[in-house]
Amino acid sequence: MQLTINGQQHTVPDSEGSTPLLWVLRDHLGLVGAKYGCGVAQCGACTVHVNGSPVRSCVTPASAVVGQQVTTIEGLAASVGKTDGRLHALQEAWIEHDVAQCGYCQAGQIMSAAALLKNNPKPTDADIDNALAGNLCRCGTYIRIRKAIHAAAARLNERAAS
Amino acid sequence: MSAAFSADDYINQIMRAAEAQTATSPKTEFNRRGFLKVVGLAGGGLVLAFHVGGQNLAFAQDGIKRTADEKKEFAPNAFLRVSPDGSILIYSKGPEIGQGIKTAFPLIIAEELDADWKQVKVEQAPINPAVYGRQSAGGSRSIPTSWDQLRLAGASARAMLIAAAAQEWRVPVEQIRAENSVVIHTGSGRQLTYGALANKAALQPIPDEKSLRLKDRKEYKLLGSRISGVDNRAIVTGQPLFGIDQTLPGLRYAVFEKCPAVGGKVKSANLAEIKKLPGIVDAFVLEGTGKVAEVMPGVAIIATSTWAAFQAKRALKIVWDESEASKDNWHEWIKQAEALAKQTGPETIFSAGDFTKATADAKVVEAFYRYPFVSHTPLEPQNCTAWFRDGRIELWAPTQNPEAGLAAVASTLGLPQEKITIHQTRVGGGFGRRLINDFMCEAAAIAQKVNAPIKLTWTREDDQLHDFYRVGGFHSFKGGIDKSGKLIAWADHFITFTADGQQPTSGGDLRPDEFPAQVLPHVSLTQTKLPLKTPTGPWRAPRSCSIAFAVQSFIHECAVAAGRDHLEFLLSIMGEPRWLKEGDPYALNTARAISVIKLAAEKAGWGKPLPKGRGLGLAFHFSHAGHFAQVAEVSVDTNKKLRVHKVTVAGDIGPIINLSGAENQVEGCVIDGYSTALGLELDIVNGRIQQTNFDTYPILRIPHTPEVAVHFIQSDFPPTGVGEPALPPVAPAIANAIYNATGYRVRTLPLVREGFTV
Ligand code: FES
Ligand code: FES
């Protein structure tokens, strides 16, 4: 089975077809940015993009993404053309706003936010609430998550305008 | 009553160890415990000269491996080293559980070192309490117990750098100052970087601790500003920081199934069937040590991937011997407590004056409060990687308490501590859960039986089923109000739990000095203890996290009964500004209390006109050396649909180390406090927790997040922690606001039990 993850081809044994993408990423491919939090699509810690849309990798069988473009937090910056250590605007905003507490949920939060901004460059608080309602943060960093998304959106819009 | 499954003794030991470092007057409280351990130039790379009170006393290893190049560096103590290229590496000694200590600790060192923060790299220190002192995160004590130690570590290194420059320039040290990793000769303006001085500095004599001048607050450049967390970049790019991210060559993946009712033993299991499943390497029964803080009986499965292990775990069929297992039942306890509510408790916790006489001709208010058991539910489930070989074990553990973990693993395996190495990983949420290291002990016990490194991962369900829960409780209150409307008498029959038939279970003790007992003339605190087997433990702001809801709500009830404004009533209870135990940071200081209460009220617009269905609610609580007051603004519609609009927080924890981190902690405390008060309750049926994942245990989500305004009073008291004390006032502030909005008094948590929705 061939999987395309962050633009790279990976060969995974066919026997792993029913294994959730999350565990293929973490145990087989060593990409541990997507996290295990619940295993039942309740917490969003495992969020990755499939063809640009956010999916919960803990309930997505690996076989379902054959031939699709999978992006994880490790490849997010590159997916928007940021290479050589440069970051996605959301990642920059997350650092500047010091969003994380324990940090465990944050990869999933950022992936959900990135999918939101792609379709909605100027989200309102309500848009953010809708797009991120599936991402739990046990530490309660929601206030900063909202701020960071607004800040990243503003920066992206500025860049687009200039 | 058997206490077999209680971790109380173990937890008490941990808590006592933490409190022993901080329990007395601020002089010993914030003193320089067992410090200062400074290196001469470490010839062998691993040898450190211990320096305590100005003398070289002993030698020890800090456990850090150094290359030949690194040995040329200036490594004045186990906390930092300066390389000739100017980069500075600071070791953060304590566990990072989301409380920001991995940034705060190095900031304190960097401030006294006058380091350029941009050149500072931070790494987690090895576990070696002999070198680093306390290596545990709990009780909001990381900052108070390490404040002086870290400041001295930075200041001594700065003194050695300055001494090196003085030698180089042949000028007195008094003419040299340091700034941003550069030393400057005041007269001539000559400069040398720390990097350029690193070699020379390493040859300087170790400064006498008493000769070091620590900075005055006015001189701070880093402390008190907003600094972004040192791991932020690694977090947002998905680097392998956490325990669950660890991997090793040839790693095997383990799961461990225990009886869902604590204390059950394995009678039989379909091991042969399990071993035939795809990807399964082995399956075996572990008898365990019978201690819930170590290893309870269960079945371990070893697999070639986490998923294979999870799948096999589902296929497990275990017959449990539940003869000694928990049969606890939450709803039975509620009935028992309600039946006891009218009486006073058989045991007296505290009494003052004469409650009966004082209330003979007073107005008496009565109410019965209840709050549930809750779990910690950190987002990263318990896990630990362990490798047992050649009679030694190495562990990679997301623990809050590696110090205690070392002892627990030693006890589990019967191995001397020298044969155990613990690597601290970042921790995906602590909240008190990871003070207890059962997951480490399990990983160790499994690893001992497997000829490969193993990573034990708990499922979310495991994590919910095998916690050390925040204990539920009940308060039957009476308040006496005299003719002038003054609260003169207070009685609380506290109905709690005991695991050993003697002491209240961990987190379930009402202390004799619980507010407002110490400030009222007539007080009667009594208790009844119901037997339980469900393990309990410290949960973010232990005791306070639950008791404050009952106490601060009932104070509001008394204010209403007295016909007085809640703010004015609360301030009048505080009375004269005074420190109830002069010099003890863990004793209430009513002056600080009054300041934060007034500030929260003022910032929230206390008394402002509000539309119907909208209300402000006030609460105060003192815990973990932090004085915190909060005002919640809520609206409630006729269908009991609740919206918490804003929570205004005023707190006094002394000077702030990292403003960004401190504000983040307060925001987190408010959201955690609201989340728990709103919807979280564990039902225990026949010893089994019923809420095993987020669908039934609904942690608050982003759409319901209130605005949080944080105001610190940065008093001159020594700094104390902020991970906990901002949490307790949240629930009562919201409950009191609901009353002010609707006239409905919340006496049961969670709010959903009272019919509220969001
Ligand atoms: S782990 Fe996938 S949603 Fe929780
Ligand atoms: S930062 Fe800890 S779960 Fe979100």
A80 touching B (Cβ < 8 Å): no
DSSP one-letter string for B212-277: PPPPPGGG-SSTTS----TTHHHHHTT-S-BGGG---TT-EEEEEEE-SSTT-EEEEE-HHHHHTS
Q: How far apart are CA A61 and CA A20, in angstroms?
A: 4
Report the candidate in B213, B160, B162 with the shortest Cα–Cα distance to residue B184: B162
Q: What is the mean pLDDT of residues A91-111?
A: 98
Joined together, the tokens standing for residue B387 give 């490798």
Q: How many CB atoms lie within 10 A of CB B19?
A: 13
Angle at A102 (CA atoms; ends A101, A104), nearest 5 degrees: 120
The pLDDT value recorded for residue B73 is 67
Using CA coordinates, name the residue in chain A closest to B430.
Answer: A102
Q: What is the pLDDT of residues B466-503, one digit of tens each?
A: 999 999 999 999 999 999 999 999 999 999 999 999 99
Ligand nearest to the CA of A37: 1
Q: Which of B227, B232, B379 sits opposite A138 (nearest CB)?
A: B379
Give the mean pLDDT per block of 10 residues along chain B (758 residues).
68 70 32 33 23 25 48 72 88 89 93 96 86 80 84 91 95 96 96 92 83 93 96 97 97 98 98 98 97 98 98 98 98 98 96 97 97 98 98 97 94 97 95 97 98 98 98 98 97 97 96 96 98 97 97 98 98 97 95 98 97 98 97 97 98 96 97 98 98 98 98 94 96 98 98 97
Which B positions 705-724 lie with beta carbon below 8 A of chain A? Answer: 705, 707-708
Question: What's the DSSP call for residue B278?
Answer: T
Helix, strand, coil tally for chain B in percent (to 5):
30, 25, 40
Single-letter residue type at B373: F
Q: How far apart are CA A154 and CA B597, in angstroms?
A: 37
Alpha-carbon torsion, ordered A119, A120, A121, A127, to 10 deg: -140
Whether A35 sits inside 8 A of B675 (CB atoms) is: no
The pLDDT value recorded for residue B3 is 54
Joined together, the tokens standing for residue B287 give 């008898």
A162 falls in which pLDDT band (50, 70, 90)?
confident
Inter-axis angle of helices A142-161 and A125-132, to 10 degrees?
A: 120
Does residue B731 contact residue B630 with C-beta atoms inside 8 Å?
no
DSSP one-letter string for chain A: -EEEETTEEEE--GGGTTSBHHHIIIIIS---SS--S-SSSSS-TTEEEETTEEEEGGGSBGGGGTTSEEE-GGGHHHHTT--TT---HHHHHHHHTT--SS-TTHHHHHHHHHHHHHH-SS--HHHHHHHHTT---TT--HHHHHHHHHHHHHHHHHHHH-
Mutate which of B376, B379, B540, B667 for ligand 2? The one with the most ligand atoms within 8 Å of its CB, which is B379
Single-letter residue type at B261: A
Which B positions 99-138 lie with beta carbon below 8 A of chain A? Answer: 99-100
Edge to edge, the sheet with strand A69-71 lists: A8-11, A2-5, A69-71, A47-50, A53-56
Q: What is the mean pLDDT of residues A44-56?
A: 98
The pLDDT value recorded for residue B429 is 97
Q: Which residues of B touch A73 (CB under 8 A)?
A: 236-238
- In terms of Cβ atoms closer than 10 Å to its own Cβ (0-12, 13-18, 19+), residue B639 is exposed
3-state SS, B326-356, equals CCCCHHHHHHHHHHHCCCCCCEEEEEECCHH
Q: How many CB pairs under 8 A join A and B?
A: 188
Report the candidate in A14, A18, A50 with the shortest Cα–Cα distance to residue A34: A50
Mutate which of A25, A32, A58 for ligand 1? The one with the most ligand atoms within 8 Å of its CB, which is A58
Give the 3-state secondary structure of residue B163.
Answer: helix
In Å, what is the CA distance from B494 to each residue of B294, B528, B587?
31, 6, 22
B99, B237, B376, B645, best to mutate vs chain A, most A CBs in 10 Å? B237
Segments of B125-161 assigned E as strands: none
Alpha-carbon distance A131 to nearest alpha carbon in chain B (angstroms) = 10
Q: How far apart are CA A18 and CA A26, in angstroms?
A: 15
Domains of chain A by start residue, with CATH: 2-77 (3.10.20.30), 83-161 (1.10.150.120)
Which B positions 225-284 lie with beta carbon below 8 A of chain A? Answer: 226-229, 231-233, 235-242, 244-245, 247, 253, 278
Alpha-carbon distance A22 to nearest alpha carbon in chain B (angstroms) = 9
Q: What is the mean pLDDT of residues A74-100?
A: 97
- Work out whether strand B176-179 and strand B252-258 pair parallel, antiparallel, or are unpaired: unpaired
Beta bridge partners of B265: B321
Whether B703 sits inside 8 A of A133 (CB atoms) is: yes
Q: Which of A27, A35, A73 sits opposite B306 (nearest CB)?
A: A27
Q: Which of B98, B227, B457 sits opposite A102 (nearest CB)?
A: B98
Segments of B561-706 assigned E as strands: 614-623, 626-636, 642-652, 684-685, 688-689
C-alpha B240 – ligand 1 centre gap (Å): 18
Q: Which of A107, A135, A142 sits opposite B671 (nearest CB)?
A: A142
Using CA coordinates, name the residue in chain A closest to B398.
Answer: A102
